[in-house]
Amino acid sequence: MVEDRKLAVLRAIVEDYVATEEPVGSRALVERHQLGVSPATVRNDMAALEEEGFIHQPHTSAGRVPTDKGYRLFVDRLSSVKPMSAAEKRAIATLLDSAVDLDDVVQRSVRLLSTLTRQVAIVQYPTLSRSTVRHIELVAITPTRVMLILILSTGRVEQRLVEIPAEMSDDQLADLRIRLNQAAAGERIADGAAALSRLPDAVPPADRALTKCLVDVLTDSMSDHRSDERVAVAGAANLARFGDNFDTAVRPLLEALEEHVVLLKLIGEVAVGDAVTVRIGHEGPYSQLASTSVVATGYGPTDQALATLGVVGPTRMDYPGSMAAVRAVARYVSRILDEGQQ
């Protein structure tokens, strides 16, 4: 089914069904859209679309609604993701530019996405395993107590207060700071931890106990993978708009929101670059969520995708608008993380 006219009819059915929440009839299509053909031709096109599985009739004498196959063709034939309006871009910039740290960026992003799309928004925290070490700082609190600060490429900051086995001079502190950064700065988290573990054997014997004490704390903070399964969720109240699909779409999705592992699998693997992934209905990983669609993409500094963000909702979704919002927010968050590395 490649005829432009049939595609125009399908596009009109999808747009009207998303907007009105009602099955779409041929008369409504002719009245609302400039299709350039007679009502009889539209009815013939709708019959062909139904025969090919792109639309179906939910009730006798009712109009037609898109199937998963119809939504898929509609999304695949989008010539491009529509741009955000100037007002929407200002809203994104205003909200995200004032974020104070990574947690704040994630929380603001998920609230913004749910507002822009009127869907459930999910933002995965940047995964520790994909990040690099940006800087290690040592701050003397007392002669035997040091604040160890680990700064990662994701913007994540780990702080540990360390009791050291002996007093440390300012010169020792400065020398050790240099050695730690030479070993780990710029390295992926796993490579940085491995390099640090070899450091005690490379320092003068008198400094080995002190170095090992700090390295042990550093490598422990690097091995904390709790963030790899952390997600932020917002917009569950938006599901109230889909009360007619409560049992098939809303209830299963509400139950899924309780399980972060399920949500991570739902929004999928980290995408590369600007690619926006759309999974419709049965294309998803869970049969109980077969009435749900997902629009997601990866985000991270430069071309390094660190995590995924997206929106989830019933298949009756504004796909062009959701795709535009997901891509725009991901680009802005990526820019913030990229600037944070400078």
Mean pLDDT of the chain: 87
Domain match, 35 and 118 both = no
Where do the H-state alpha helices sit in 98-207? 102-117, 170-184, 189-197
Domain match, 213 and 272 both = no
* Residue in 158, 159, 157, 185 with CA at minimum distance from that of residue 100: 157
Contact 293, 314 (CB under 8 A): yes
Phi, psi torsion values for 254, nearest 5 degrees: -60, -40
Range of the structural domain that residue 114 is part of: 86-125+230-340
Those residues whose C-beta lies under 8 Å from the C-beta of residue 110, and which sit 6 or more positions away, are 121, 122, 123, 232, 233, 234, 235, 309
Domain match, 235 and 324 both = yes
Q: What is the pLDDT of residues 310-320, one digit of tens each?
A: 999 999 999 99
CATH number at residue 18: 1.10.10.10
Domain match, 55 and 181 both = no
Domain match, 221 and 300 both = no
Domain match, 100 and 241 both = yes
Residues 310 and 295: their CA atoms lie apart, in Å, by 5
Calculate mean pLDDT across residues 7-13: 93
Q: What is the pLDDT of residues 49-67, one digit of tens each?
A: 999 999 999 887 678 999 9
Number of folded domains that form the chain:
3
Domain boundary among 226, 247, 273: 226
Domain match, 24 and 160 both = no
Domain boundary among 226, 258, 287: 226
Those residues whose C-beta lies under 8 Å from the C-beta of residue 16, and which sit 6 or more positions away, are 24, 28, 29, 32
Q: Is the predicted pLDDT of residue 218 greater than 70, yes or no?
A: yes
* Residue in 298, 290, 116, 144 with CA at minimum distance from that of residue 209: 144
Domain match, 201 and 52 both = no
1 band by pLDDT with thresholds 50, 70 and 90: very low
CATH number at residue 249: 3.30.450.40
Residue 81 lies in a domain: no
